[in-house]
Amino acid sequence: MKALQFTAPNAMSVNEIAMPNIADDEVLLASRSVGICHSDIELLEGRYIIPFQYPIIPGHEWSAEVIEVGRKVAKFKAGDRVVGECVIGQEHFGFSISGAMAEFFIAKADWLHKLPDNVSWTQGALVEPFSCGYYATVRADNMDASDTIAVFGAGPIGLGVIAASAAKGGRVIAIEPSEARAKIARTLGAEDVIDPTKGDVKEAVLEATQGAGATVVIDASGRPDAMASTLEVAGFRGRIVIIGISVGGTASAGLGLIQSKELQIRGIIGSPGVWPETIRFLSRTNLDLSKLVTASFDISEADKAYHTVLTDKAQIKIHVTNLGN
């Protein structure tokens, strides 16, 4: 079977390797759609946050079909459509243990969730990144149609935040300099998109909210200056959620605003415990996230897909598909 392997820092190839064998509590899966994520690039460059060994098969954003189940697996059967969580205890699926960027792969039954019939393979492979954006809206406490949500950054995670916030009935103001991303933000429900390179973001948000500021502010940009700006654009008792990652980043911020505006600030990591709810939300809202996928490649060209991620910064999410078997 074909698999994309990272074989050394900045070295990868699609190789013919042996089919994996399942243990009693495992499931053999045929990948259907697999997304490429920024953290895959860190793995390719050899600087992932936890230790790993070459060769490694990446791929933690995926949908797949069950081919065979181990003797002790009762919850799944051949033909089931599934997605799976990627942080499993101390291991990271697709990082410290091999992932889904192959024709076939194995996973423990405990990591899997069934995909409803109306959620496509493409949408299924977007559950992992979307669950992070969705979780940000959950941690913003009781988000509803009374909220105005300012979202910094409209990359794959920010677009998920925008889509979930709008689907919950909120009014969304996105802050994003790229015109291509702004366009997708609008189709996913952003009412206004502010270009932070053209004028003052705080003034623009205040103007859009009749001076009140946003009731919810979510940073999905990972930029320290944007994180500092969340304090400025939040209204009185605004709820701020930080999901963007900035290891070691610093910026000067108007810290007095935390007290004077009675702000609530939360940092979040990943999407713990919300996968079943995220999948149900996608299924019941019929939210079309497939607009995030700007290119796709067959598994036999998975290396080309990675090269495209590395060289074409206009891409938002690239998928690798395996629909041939």
Interface ranges with Zn ion (CB under 5 A): 37
Of 48 and 297, nearer to Zn ion (C-beta) is 48
Interhelix angle 224-233/201-208, rounded to 10 degrees, is 30
- Report in angstroms how near the CB of residue 35 gets to Zn ion at its nearest: 7
Indicate the DSSP class of residue 289: G
What H or E segment, with its residue span, contains residue 194? strand 190-194
**Contact (Cβ atoms closer than 8 angstroms) between residue 217 and residue 191:** no
- Report in angstroms how near the CB of residue 287 gets to Zn ion at its nearest: 19
Distance CA 209, CA 283 (A): 32
Indicate the DSSP class of residue 268: -
- Report in angstroms how near the CB of residue 37 gets to Zn ion at its nearest: 3
CA dihedral 4, 270, 81, 111 (to 10 degrees): 90
Query: Closest-CB residue for Zn ion?
Result: 37
Of 39 and 165, nearer to Zn ion (C-beta) is 39
- Report in angstroms how near the CB of residue 98 gets to Zn ion at its nearest: 16
Three-state secondary structure of 195-230: CCCCCCHHHHHHHHCCCCCEEEEEECCCCHHHHHHH
- Report in angstroms how near the CB of residue 129 gets to Zn ion at its nearest: 5
Of 29 and 126, nearer to Zn ion (C-beta) is 126
Of 1 and 245, nearer to Zn ion (C-beta) is 245
Residue 150's SS3 state is strand
Of 37 and 184, nearer to Zn ion (C-beta) is 37
